[in-house]
């Protein structure tokens, strides 16, 4: 049944809801915009946040591999379009990475609410959700991550590839299928280092900048600082 949900989250096998959205590539209609193609919609809590930035860099750098599978990517958060555009510009300049796919500016939270992306505690930032949608507009996989932990983009690639193989050959795939064929990498930006929570006051900004000057931590910007693990 179209739009069928349980507790606000669509079920695997239900049709992706028809909706018109504003993006960094203009206004588009989903899922018709990707009719005949697989696409992956993934949400992030907010622009100009460090974990989200590492995810977008990895999605962007793996985009050619997704394209080889005929898979398109589209991001989403509740930020405005101008925030997305400025953040994409920052990623291009600081991370030397071009973000080639659109990002939805769901500033009213319409689509986020339809897809169960908003947290139960009433927060306004979207969780790290992933929706894999097939060429018929059917939701084939749903994955949710907490704000504290970034996604493994290679696993998302493995997931959509496995679904394609399953459809084509009418088979099921075992645990860890295709893992040995993939290059499992740490973050292209900061490796396996740990992200320090962004500063929430001018005093904290100065504190982070001082620690960076003393080489106690590293930083790409005042909101994106990181350090080695103590373990």
Q: Are 127 and 147 in contact (CB under 8 A)?
A: yes
Residue 145, strand partner residues? 128
pLDDT exceeds 80 at position 150: yes
pLDDT tens digits, one per residue of 69-96: 999 999 999 999 999 999 999 999 999 9
Catalytic residue among 41, 52, 73, 127: 52
DSSP structure class, residue 197 = P
pLDDT of residue 181: 84
Question: For residue range 9-64, what is the model confidence (pLDDT) as tens digits?
Answer: 789 999 999 999 999 999 999 999 999 999 999 999 999 999 999 999 999 999 99
Q: Is 126 a catalytic residue?
A: no
Q: Is 15 annotated as a binding residue?
A: no
SS3 at position 92: helix
Please give the full DSSP string across 94-114, using - where no structure is assigned: HS-----S-EEE-TT-HHHHH
Q: Is 180 helix (H, G, I), strand (E, B) or coil?
A: helix
Q: Are 17 and 9 in contact (CB under 8 A)?
A: no
Domains of the chain with CATH codes:
5-181 (3.40.30.10), 194-227 (3.30.1020.10)
Q: How far is CA 77 from the centre of its chain?
A: 9
């Amino acid at each position: 049944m179209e739009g069928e949900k349980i507790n606000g989250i669509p079920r695997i096998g239900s049709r992706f809801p028809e909706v018109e959205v504003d993006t960094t590539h203009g206004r588009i209609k989903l899922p018709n915009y990707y009719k005949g193609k697989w696409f992956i919609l993934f949400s992030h809590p907010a622009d100009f946040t460090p974990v989200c930035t590492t995810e977008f860099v990895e999605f962007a750098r793996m985009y050619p591999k997704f394209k080889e599978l005929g898979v398109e990517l589209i991001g989403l958060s509740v930020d405005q379009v101008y925030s997305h555009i400025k953040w994409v510009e920052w990623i291009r300049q600081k991370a030397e990475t071009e973000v080639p796919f659109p990002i939805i500016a769901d500033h009213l939270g319409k689509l986020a609410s339809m897809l169960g992306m908003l947290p139960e505690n009433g927060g306004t930032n979207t969780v790290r959700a992933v929706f894999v949608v097939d060429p018929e507009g059917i939701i084939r996989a749903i994955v949710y991550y907490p704000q504290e932990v970034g996604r493994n983009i290679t696993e998302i690639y493995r997931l959509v590839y496995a679904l394609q193989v399953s459809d084509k050959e009418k088979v099921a795939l075992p645990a860890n299928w295709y893992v040995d064929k993939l290059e499992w990498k740490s973050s292209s930006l900061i490796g396996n280092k740990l992200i320090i929570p962004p500063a929430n006051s001018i005093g904290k900004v100065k504190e982070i900048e001082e620690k960076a000057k003393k080489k106690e931590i590293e930083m790409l910007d005042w909101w994106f600082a990181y350090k080695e693990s103590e373990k």
